[in-house]
Amino acid sequence: MENRYSVHPEQVKRFTTEELRSHFLMESLFTENELTMFYSHEDRVVVGGAVPVKADIKLDAGDFLKTEFFLERREIGIINVGKPGVVKVGDEEYVLQTKDFLYIGMGHRDVSFSNLNGETAKFYFVSAGAHQQYPTQKAAISELTPAHLGDDAASNVRDLYKVIHNDGIKSCQLMMGITVLEKNNNWNTMPAHVHDRRMEAYLYLDLNEDAKVFHFMGEPDETRHLVVGNEQAVLSPAWSIHSGAGTSNYSFVWAMAGENYTFTDMDLVPMNGLK
């Protein structure tokens, strides 16, 4: 578990590129046979990845959380971004195809990840604090109906899948979904917004090795950027915009946690307010 402390926006104005990347970018989430986790003090979320190849990987934070087991006081949202794999929750097994989601509520002691038929599954997850237990529930991407957004003139035609949210899979405070940009489109979340009542994390996917996303962050009138590669994630504090433009089309998994559970709780930033 790597610890990431919160930083004040006034500090970020003076950050070098290296400092920005060390605080906000999660470059290596998927290592074979390992559980990789980042603990962010932005709303106490845990962002991580698991790639089981030789053996199952147990969801276990050691003594970092100071609880008996990972989900003692937490909930978790999981998406498989690799080949088909299995998440085991107690005695129940859930097969996740590529881009399928699974929500697991508070209180489940035994959770593990495994591959299926020797394929390389890659599980990405975001966990937040919880105050009550909601049912474990799977959402197959093939059974979801996305919101179709954007237009060709703005280069942002995309499908937005809301999965864990108030009108979908119920949770305490975690919201999670995926946005898929169509071919020849490269902009996401522009015009930008902030939501001062919750943080957000982006995992960028479906990029070729030589393709990049320029992720824009910072206060609206003091923006910065991170150059992000495939299967890398960015932490976005509540005071920061979160928007990206890619050298090709891509997908991104978004997850939010914080004070407000309303998906539309956001403060839009007019284009002429960005600097």
CATH number of the domain within which 94 lies? 2.60.120.10
Which is more confident, 229 or 118? 229
Domain count across the chain: 1
Report the run of H or E that residue 224 belongs to, with start and end: strand 222-228
Structural domain contains residue 75: yes
Structural domain contains residue 27: yes
Does 65 score more than 90 pLDDT?
Answer: yes
User: How many residues in total does the chain contain?
Assistant: 275
What is the predicted pLDDT for the residue at 238?
A: 96
Structural domain contains residue 111: yes
Q: Report the alpha-carbon distance of residue 219 to residue 242 in Å, rounded.
A: 10
At residue 150, the 3 state secondary structure works out as coil
Query: Among the residues of the chain, which ranges form H helices?
Result: 9-12, 17-24
Residue 172 and residue 191 in contact, taking contact as beta carbons nearer than 8 Å:
no
CA 207 to chain centre: 16
Q: Is 200 annotated as a binding residue?
A: yes
Q: Tell me the average pLDDT across 200-220.
A: 97
Structural domain contains residue 196: yes
What is the predicted pLDDT for the residue at 59?
A: 98
Structural domain contains residue 1: no
Q: Report the alpha-carbon distance of residue 214 to residue 224 in Å, rounded.
A: 10
- How would residue 263 be classed by pLDDT, with cut points 50, 70 and 90? confident
Q: What is the mean pLDDT of the chain?
A: 96
Does 260 score more than 90 pLDDT?
Answer: no
Q: Which of 37-41, 114-118, 212-216, 249-253 has the lowest mean pLDDT?
A: 114-118
**C-alpha dist (Å) from residue 190 to 137, 219, 243, 275:** 32, 14, 6, 14
CA 153 to chain centre: 28
How many CA within 13 A on the CB side of residue 125? 30
Q: Is 242 annotated as a binding residue?
A: yes
Q: How many Å is the maximal CA-CA distance in the chain?
A: 54
Owner of token pair 């915009």: 241
Q: Report the alpha-carbon distance of residue 202 to residue 255 in Å, rounded.
A: 7
- How would residue 262 be classed by pLDDT, with cut points 50, 70 and 90? confident
Structural domain contains residue 20: yes
Structural domain contains residue 2: no
Q: Which structural domain, as residue segments, surrounds residue 142? A: 7-273
